[in-house]
């Protein structure tokens, strides 16, 4: 069998395993790249290793180390508590405020998984105490975290922009961020209207509802260590976004300074880093790099081009990416596997907007991630209060997730092909 075909089969195996198993497919992808490339294809190991995205690894590690410090010393948790306190007992505002809190915290660097893992227990318990639907709260917090996930300094944003830059598409960090925010904000507001948000306003106007849990929240002042951490995060944002400093190296440097100042536990910060995701992204990128070298990506793009035209590519590719993303990691599997095929796909179709297709992969892939089969959805269901019907919540979020595969692909086609946002 031709090596290009074998490399495509290897990618399909990795995607299938990621859908049915919790195993880290990044490690598997490296093994598959070695077997297909070296053992079967005779490619030298150093050429396979050259596919390892060292720059992407440094960026992800640097950013997540800094925010690991912010997580272990309680800085992020305290920001969340201050935001909830600001609601001042207005129950109807709580889901909206928590959407924006999750968005802001995710966008400043830690990424959506860390933030949702941190916020979910308090948010879901508060929902139960004040009479908010757990389904509504899960959708608001989940979409809020996802809305900030593609920030230029957040892990998913770093991955998307790094993969796009490898194809020659630079300077798209803010369009990627804005498009993702817009899509998640739209579906979150739709969920708010459909699943009880307006009812909460009516209850508030009538004097109903139990808001005491919100009105009586007390939050301690920021500690010296937390204030230093907030300063460090601010410096990172100014240097990276304003002066174009390398995000990863800047993150490592600020993190090292904070460690020397005893602002956080270095060992705990390292343990809190999302090593599973980092290994997944880097491993899949190694396999995709091999596919580029042996013609596997061209073969993959040929298959998708059979079902696409320049006017429907955003719809088709967005839908395929979204359906797979319901089961697999968008950052670790979907973006590393789909974004690199875009130039070949456009060439095979005889035209099309490559950036529109990239934006579609990113947006549609992320919109389904509140599915309970994804990490975001699973975290929210796991954090549901003791009175919540978790089986019903699972079913509702599963239906929502698959509905978003359709909604996401249509939104992508509307935004990027019809309206050309």
Spans of all domains in the chain? 1-50+278-294
> How large a percentage of the chain has pLDDT more than 90?
65
CA distances from 91 to 78, 79, 94, 150, 299 (A): 20, 19, 5, 29, 53
Encoding tokens for residue 255?
């993190």
The band of 204, judged by pLDDT with boundaries at 50, 70 and 90, is low
Q: What's the CA gap between 237 and 188, in Å, rounded?
A: 27
pLDDT of 395 over the 80 cut: yes
> Longest C-alpha distance within the chain, in Å?
74
Total residues belonging to the chain:
421
Per-chain mean pLDDT for the chain: 90
Tens-place pLDDT, residues 334-355: 999 999 999 999 999 999 999 9
Cβ neighbour number for residue 83 with a 10 Å cutoff: 19
Regarding predicted confidence, which is higher, 260 or 209? 260
Q: What's the CA gap between 372 and 364, in Å, rounded?
A: 16
| Residues in contact with 414: Cβ distance below 8 Å, sequence separation at least 6, in sequence order | none
The band of 81, judged by pLDDT with boundaries at 50, 70 and 90, is confident
Q: What is the DSSP letter of 40?
A: I
Regarding predicted confidence, which is higher, 203 or 82? 82
Tens-place pLDDT, residues 263-309: 999 999 999 888 988 999 899 999 999 999 999 988 989 999 999 99
Decide if 4 contacts 43 (C-beta within 8 A). Answer: no
The band of 117, judged by pLDDT with boundaries at 50, 70 and 90, is confident
> How large a percentage of the chain has pLDDT more than 70?
97
Residue 284: per-residue pLDDT: 93
Q: What's the CA gap between 50 and 160, in Å, rounded?
A: 20
Decide if 315 contacts 409 (C-beta within 8 A). Answer: yes
The band of 207, judged by pLDDT with boundaries at 50, 70 and 90, is very low
Burial status of residue 27 (CB atoms within 10 A of its CB: 0-12, 13-18, 19 or more)? middle
pLDDT of 86 over the 70 cut: yes
- What average pLDDT does the segment 127-156 reach? 93
pLDDT of 213 over the 80 cut: no
């Amino acid at each position: 069998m031709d090596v290009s075909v074998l490399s495509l089969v290897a990618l399909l195996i990795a995607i299938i395993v990621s859908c049915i198993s919790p195993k880290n497919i990044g490690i598997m992808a490296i093994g598959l790249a070695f077997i297909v490339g070296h053992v079967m294809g005779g490619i030298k190991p150093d050429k396979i290793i050259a596919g390892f995205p060292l720059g992407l690894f440094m960026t992800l590690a640097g950013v997540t180390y800094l925010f690991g410090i912010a997580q272990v010393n309680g800085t992020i948790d305290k920001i969340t508590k201050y935001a909830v306190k600001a609601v001042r007992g207005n129950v109807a505002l709580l889901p909206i405020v928590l959407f924006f809190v999750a968005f802001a915290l995710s966008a400043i660097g830690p990424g959506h998984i860390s933030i949702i893992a941190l916020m979910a227990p308090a948010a879901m318990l508060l929902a139960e105490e004040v009479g908010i639907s757990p389904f509504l709260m899960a959708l608001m917090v989940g979409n809020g975290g996802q809305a900030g996930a593609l920030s230029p300094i957040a892990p998913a944003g770093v991955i998307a922009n790094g993969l796009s830059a490898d194809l020659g598409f630079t300077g798209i960090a803010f369009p990627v961020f804005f498009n993702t925010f817009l899509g998640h904000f739209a579906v979150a507001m739709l969920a708010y209207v459909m699943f009880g948000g307006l009812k909460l306003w009516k209850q508030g106007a009538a004097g109903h509802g139990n808001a005491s849990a919100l009105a009586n929240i007390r939050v301690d002042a920021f500690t010296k260590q937390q204030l230093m951490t907030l300063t460090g995060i601010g410096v990172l944002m100014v240097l990276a976004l304003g002066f174009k400093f390398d995000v990863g190296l800047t993150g490592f440097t600020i993190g090292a300074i904070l460690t020397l100042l005893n602002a956080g536990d270095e060992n705990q910060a390292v343990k809190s880093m999302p090593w599973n995701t980092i290994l997944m992204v880097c491993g899949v990128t190694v396999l995709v790099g091999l596919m580029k070298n042996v013609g596997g990506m061209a073969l993959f793009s040929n298959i998708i081009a059979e079902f696409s035209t320049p006017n429907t590519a955003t719809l088709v590719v967005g839908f395929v990416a979204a359906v797979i993303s319901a089961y697999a990691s968008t950052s670790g599997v979907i973006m590393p596997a789909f974004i690199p095929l875009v130039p070949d796909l456009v060439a095979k179709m005889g035209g099309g907007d490559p950036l529109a297709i990239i934006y579609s992969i990113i947006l549609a892939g992320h919109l389904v991630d509140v599915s309970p089969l994804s990490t975001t959805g699973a975290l929210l269901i796991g954090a549901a209060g003791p009175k919540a019907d978790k089986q019903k919540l699972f079913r509702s979020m599963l239906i929502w997730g698959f509905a978003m595969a359709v909604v996401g692909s249509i939104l992508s086609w509307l935004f990027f092909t019809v309206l050309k946002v």
